[in-house]
Amino acid sequence: MTDSASMLAETRVCDIVTELPVRAAVLSQFGIDFCCGGRETLSQVCEEKGIEIEDVTSQIANIDSMNNNSVRSEFDNMSSTELCDHIENTHHNFLKRHLPITSLHAEKVARVHGEREPHLKEIAHVFGDLKAELEPHMMKEEQILFPLIRLLDSSTTLPEVHCGSVRNPIRAMFYEHDLAGQALSKLRELTNSYTPPDHACNTYRALFGELELLEKDTHIHIHKENHVLFVKAQEIERRLMGKE
């Protein structure tokens, strides 16, 4: 293993993506969660999943060679307010459009094919629970956490807020992100990594494609929050408290 591959192996998965976001495509290909499970090193994750780490590091090296500007993500250079706006306009709007359509398809496929293929009923159930978690989760971010982060970002002294510290709602969001990650992992398992069988009808195939798109977007969405926005927000609060 080369020196650069060895360094990657001992780097946290979340940091691998933060440094160059396009690397997320490689991790997704291997089913590696870089958002909720992103605090583990690449070597730890590969060992747990039985993945040959050289296969991952070599593909990351190929991605890096095509993206010579291996600098930290543009999102790292955004203000916290800009990040909140970006997440709402990009990922929250995607979910608001995507979740109702996928829900209709999941229910239809389970209804039509579920007797012969019971796992399709389980897919509909797991997705339904995920949708029921994500919708109020977004509302809490838009109505509570993001306004608080914007307030901190625009303040020169520490404001008094009802939740005491931005760490408290962030802690709740981390917990809910972990639940979403578990649901996405279960959906990947139930769909055989989103691979429809040869006999699948168009709606069946569309559902699996929609679930795969949901996983990709949600992983990137949660990564931006857990490992960029929330870090920035807590740094601002510490600075306003005079602890830096």
pLDDT of residue 67: 61
Residue 72 resides in a domain: no
As given in the structure block, the two tokens for residue 93 are 């709007």
Going by C-alpha positions, the residue among 227, 202, 192 that lies closest to residue 87 is 227
Residue 71 resides in a domain: no
As given in the structure block, the two tokens for residue 187 are 């959906």
Same-domain check for residues 90 and 204: yes
* Residue 92 pLDDT greater than 60, yes or no: yes
Whole-model pTM above 0.95? no
User: CATH number, domain at 26?
Assistant: 1.10.3910
What is the rounded distance in angstroms from the CA atom of residue 14 to the CA atom of residue 38?
Answer: 4
Same-domain check for residues 58 and 102: no
Q: Which domain holds residue 121?
A: 77-240
Collapsing DSSP to helix, strand or coil, 12 comes out as: strand
Structurally, the chain folds into a number of domains equal to 2
Same-domain check for residues 143 and 205: yes
Same-domain check for residues 174 and 109: yes
Among 66, 86, 117, identify where a domain stops. Answer: 66
Per residue in 110-168, pLDDT (tens digit) is: 999 999 999 999 999 999 999 999 999 999 999 999 999 999 999 999 888 888 899 99
Residue 193 resides in a domain: yes
Going by C-alpha positions, the residue among 200, 69, 64, 211 that lies closest to residue 128 is 211
As given in the structure block, the two tokens for residue 105 are 């398809």
Same-domain check for residues 61 and 180: no
Please report which confidence band the pLDDT of residue 70 belongs to, taking 50, 70 and 90 as the band edges.
very low
